[in-house]
C-alpha cells in the first residue's frame, strides 16, 4: 500500500520554458513517450488499484496509459492541479523573477509564498489544497498512482520531510514523468526517480 506521485510528461511549454499554470497544454511527442515508459514500468513493478490525476490536459494525458496498463479508469481531482499563476500564465520563466521580484521565494521568502498573482492563487493556498488531496489519497486502500505537477509533488514531499513551504518549493524537484513514492507510514521512500528509463 503506497501512493506513487508521477509528474506529467514533457509539454511543448516545458520545452519552451513557459509558465503553464492551468493552461490546457497537452503533451509533446517526447511527453507521450515518457508517459508510455512510466506506464510500462509501473505495471511491471506492482499492482495499481487506482489512478487519480489532476484534471488538467497534460496530467490526464499522462495518466491514461498508466490506467490502461493497470486496468482501471482515470479519476480526476482538481486539488492536484498546478498553481493558478493567473496573469503570469504563458510568460517565459527565464526572466520572471527579474521582472517580478516580489514573487521570488529565494529573495522574499514567506512574503512571496503568501502573495497571489492577479486572478491566481498564493503558494499557501496551493499547499492547503494539495495536502488535503494527498491525505485523502493516503487514506485509500491499496496502491494509488497520483499524476500531478512539479509543485504539488514538492509540497507533498516537503510536508512529509517537515520542510517549510519556501524550502519545499526551492530545494526539491520532480522531473517530467519522475516517480515519487510515499509508503503506508507516510515516509518518502523514493523521490524524483526516473530509473525506469
Q: Does 91 have pLDDT greater than 90?
A: yes
Residues 6+ apart with CB under 8 A from 195: none
pLDDT band for position 186 (50/70/90)? Answer: very high
Q: How many CB atoms lie within 10 A of CB 93?
A: 14
pLDDT given at position 85: 98
Q: Which of 38-47, 84-93, 124-133, 143-152 has the lowest mean pLDDT?
A: 38-47
pLDDT tens per residue across span 11-41: 999 999 999 999 999 999 999 999 999 999 9
C-alpha grid cell, residue 169:
518549493
pLDDT given at position 46: 77
Q: Does 195 have pLDDT greater than 70?
A: yes
Residues 6+ apart with CB under 8 A from 139: none
Q: Is the dihedral of CA 184, 69, 22, 90 positive or negative?
A: positive
> CA angle at residue 157 from 109 to 36, to 5 degrees?
120
C-alpha grid cell, residue 119:
486572478
Over residues 84-100, mean pLDDT: 97
C-alpha grid cell, residue 93:
520563466
Between the CA atoms of 165, 169, 147 and 54, what dihedral angle is there, to the nearest 10 degrees? 70
Q: What is the DSSP string of 93-136?
A: STTHHHH-GGG-HHHHTHHHHH---TTS--HHHHHHHHHHHHHH
Average pLDDT, the chain: 96
Q: Is the dihedral of CA 19, 54, 185, 73 positive or negative?
A: negative
Q: Does 1 have pLDDT greater than 90?
A: no
Over residues 172-187, mean pLDDT: 96
pLDDT given at position 197: 65
Over residues 109-123, mean pLDDT: 98
Over residues 161-179, mean pLDDT: 97
The dihedral region occupied by 26, where left means phi > 0, alpha psi between -120 and 50, and beta the remainder, is: beta
Amino acid at each position: 500500500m503506497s501512493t506513487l506521485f508521477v509528474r506529467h510528461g514533457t509539454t511543448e511549454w516545458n520545452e519552451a520554458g513557459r509558465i503553464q499554470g492551468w493552461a490546457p497544454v497537452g503533451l509533446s511527442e517526447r511527453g507521450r513517450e515518457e508517459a508510455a515508459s512510466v506506464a510500462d514500468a509501473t505495471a511491471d513493478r506492482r499492482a495499481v488499484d487506482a489512478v487519480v490525476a489532476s484534471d488538467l490536459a497534460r496530467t490526464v494525458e499522462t495518466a491514461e496509459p498508466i490506467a490502461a496498463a493497470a486496468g482501471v479508469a482515470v479519476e480526476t481531482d482538481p486539488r492536484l492541479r498546478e498553481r493558478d499563476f493567473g496573469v503570469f500564465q504563458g510568460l517565459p520563466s527565464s526572466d520572471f523573477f527579474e521582472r517580478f521580484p516580489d514573487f521570488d521565494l529565494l529573495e522574499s521568502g514567506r512574503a512571496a509564498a503568501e502573495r497571489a498573482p492577479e486572478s491566481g492563487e498564493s503558494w499557501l493556498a496551493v499547499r492547503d489544497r494539495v495536502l488535503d488531496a494527498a491525505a485523502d489519497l493516503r487514506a485509500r486502500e491499496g496502491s494509488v498512482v497520483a499524476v500531478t505537477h512539479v509543485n504539488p509533488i514538492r509540497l507533498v514531499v516537503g510536508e512529509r520531510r517537515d520542510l517549510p513551504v519556501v524550502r519545499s518549493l526551492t530545494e526539491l524537484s520532480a522531473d517530467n514523468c519522475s516517480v515519487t513514492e510515499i509508503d503506508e507510514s507516510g515516509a518518502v521512500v523514493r523521490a524524483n526517480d526516473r530509473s525506469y528509463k
